[in-house]
Amino acid sequence: MGFQKNVSPPVAEVEQNWPQITTIFIGALAGLSNGLLFSWPSPFLVKIAQDKVNYNISEEEGAYFSIIQPISMMIACPIFAILADHFGRKVALLLIVVPQLFSWLLAGFAKSVYVFYAARFLSGLSDGCLFVTLPMYIGEVANPTVRGTWGNLLPISYYIGEFLINVIGSKFDTRVTTYICLPLPILYLILFSLMPESPYYYIMKGKEEEAIKSLKFLKRMKNVDSIYKQLKFDVERQLSERGTWVDMIKIKSNRKGLIAGMFLRLSQQLSGFTVFLTFTQLIFQKSGGNVSHEVSSILYLGSSLILNLIGVFLIVPFFNRLTCFVTSNSASGVILFLMSAYIYIDDNTSVDLSSFKWMPLTFMILYQVFTSFGLSLIPTLMLSELYSTSIKSKAMVILSITFGLGIFVASTIFYQMNIHLGFYSPFLFFSACCCVSAILSYYVIPETRGKTLEEIQQMLKKN
C-alpha cells in the first residue's frame, strides 16, 4: 500500500498595489514640472517688474502672465483629449514634455514681455494635457483603494512644484532657474515611457493581449483572466451607451457627473485657491506683514505642501468626499472674510494694526489648513471617478476648459477688484463664493469614496 502524496491547493494570487502606485508616482512628475511652471509668476512677476535694468516690463503687463496660461490651457484641452482617445493616454502624457521644455527655454532667455507671454502660453498647453489626460489615466490604472489615496499625488506634486519655484526663484534669476528645472521633464519622459498604457484604452481598441499584459504589470499577477473579463464587460457596457456630446446632457448619469465636476472645479477656483498660488509674493507684499514677501511665500507654500500631505494620507481616505469638501469651503470662507476685514481696516481706517502684522501670514496659512483636505484635493480626485468610458475624454475636455476658465475669471477678478475697489475686495468676494459653494455642495456632489468606477456609474443612474 503506497503513501498518498498530500497536494496543497494552489494559493490564490493577491493583487499588488505597488506597481499602480509607482505608475501614478512617475505620472505625477509631470504634475511637479507643471506646478513649477504654473507658479513661476509668483517669484518672477515681482522681480521682473522691479528690474528696470534687464527688463522694461510693468506690473500691469506682468499680471497677464497668470491670465494667458489658462487661455492656452482651454485651447489645448480638446486637442489632447482627441490624442488620448486615438493614440492612447500614455502617448498623450508623453507629449506634455514638448511644451514644458520650450516654456522653460523661453522663460529662461526672454527679455521682451511677448517672449514671456509665449512661455506662459506653452505652460498652459502642458496644463491642458495634464488635466485632461492624467486623471483619466489614474482612474483607469488604479483600483479604488489605490485611487482613493495615491490618486491625490497629482495635486500634491503640483503643490511641491509651486513651493519649490518660490524657493528657487527667491535665490536665482530666470536663466539659472531654467537650468535647474529643465532636467525634470526629461527625467519624466524617460521614466514614463517605461510605464504601461491603460488597460481600458486597450480594451476600447480591441487589443486583448496588450490589455492582459498591462493588467499583469499593474496587478503583478500571472493570471488576470477574471479581472480582464470583468473589466472588459464593464468597458463594453459603458461603451454601448452612446457617447456623443449631446448624450452628456441627455443621459442622467452623464449629466449628473458633468454638473458635479464643473461645480467642483468652479468652486475651487472661485475660492481664490489658484489665484493665491500664482500671486503669492504680490499678496504678501501688498498686505504689509512683518515678514518679507519672499519668506512669507515660502512659509505659505511650505505649509500648503505639508498640510496637503496630511490631507492625502490621514484625512481624505477616511472621511466622505462631501464632508471634506463642505467643511473645507465653510472654514475657508470664514478665514477669507477675516483676511478681508484686516486689510480693509489697515488700508482704510486710522486704527493702528502695527501689533498685528503677523495676521496676513497667519490667515493665509489657516486658509491652507482648511483647503488641504477639501478644496485642494477633492476636485482633482473626483475627476477620475465620475465618468463612464464612453464619455470620459469629452468630460475631461469640458472640465479642463472649466478649470482654465475658472482660473482666468478668478485671476481677472482678483486683479481688477484690487485696482478698482481695494485690496480687501477680492478676499471678500472669494469668501462669499466659499459660503455659497458649501451650501450647494449638498445638492450637487455624489459620494464616491470606496466605490469602483462601475459602481459609481450605477449610483449616478439610480439617484
pLDDT in tens, 398-411: 888 898 899 889 98
342-357 pLDDT, tens digit each: 999 988 898 888 888 8
Average pLDDT of the chain, as a whole number = 87
Q: From CA 46, how far away is CA 235, in angstroms rounded?
A: 50
43-68 pLDDT, tens digit each: 888 889 888 888 888 878 887 888 89
Q: In angstroms, how far is CA 449 from the centroid of its own chain?
A: 19
* Lookup result for grid cell 472588459: 232
- Using DSSP's 3-state secondary structure scheme, residue 85 falls into helix
Mean pLDDT of 147-151: 77
**Residue 6: its pLDDT value, please?**
52
Q: Residue 1 pLDDT more than 50?
A: no
* Lookup result for grid cell 481695494: 422
Mean pLDDT of 259-277: 91
Largest CA distance in the chain: 106
Which region, left, alpha or beta, applies to residue 272 given φ > 0 means left and ψ of -120 to 50 means alpha? left
Nearest to 158 by CA among 196, 138, 130, 200: 130
- For residue 127 the three cell numbers come to 496644463
At residue 246 the predicted structure's pLDDT band, cuts being 50, 70 and 90, is confident
Mean pLDDT of 355-378: 89
**Residue 72: its pLDDT value, please?**
93
**397 within 8 A of 243, measured Cβ to Cβ:** no
- For residue 430 the three cell numbers come to 472669494
At residue 105 the predicted structure's pLDDT band, cuts being 50, 70 and 90, is very high
Amino acid in the structure at residue 274 = T
At residue 384 the predicted structure's pLDDT band, cuts being 50, 70 and 90, is low
Question: How large a percentage of the chain has pLDDT more than 70?
Answer: 96
Please tell me which of 44-53, 87-96, 140-149 the model is most confident about, judged by mean pLDDT: 87-96
Q: From CA 313, how far away is CA 435, in angstroms rounded?
A: 26
**103: CB partners within 8 A, 6+ apart:** 37, 119, 120, 122, 123, 126
**Residue 395: its pLDDT value, please?**
85
- For residue 353 the three cell numbers come to 494694526
Mean pLDDT of 190-197: 96
Mean pLDDT of 198-226: 91
Nearest to 262 by CA among 439, 432, 426, 440: 440
> Domain spans of the chain?
18-195+241-462
**Residue 439: its pLDDT value, please?**
96
Torsion, Cα of 156, 160, 165, 167 (10° steps): 150
222-234 pLDDT, tens digit each: 888 888 898 888 8
- For residue 122 the three cell numbers come to 506653452
At residue 12 the predicted structure's pLDDT band, cuts being 50, 70 and 90, is low
Q: From CA 139, how far away is CA 136, in angstroms rounded?
A: 5
**Residue 242: its pLDDT value, please?**
62
Q: Residue 432 pLDDT more than 80?
A: yes
18-195+241-462 adopts what CATH topology?
A: Growth Hormone; Chain: A; (1.20.1250)
Mean pLDDT of 265-281: 87
387 compared with 268, residue with greater pLDDT: 268
Mean pLDDT of 178-203: 95
Q: Residue 123 pLDDT more than 90?
A: yes
- Using DSSP's 3-state secondary structure scheme, residue 243 falls into coil
**73 within 8 A of 93, measured Cβ to Cβ:** no
Mean pLDDT of 161-175: 90
Question: How large a percentage of the chain has pLDDT more than 90?
Answer: 43
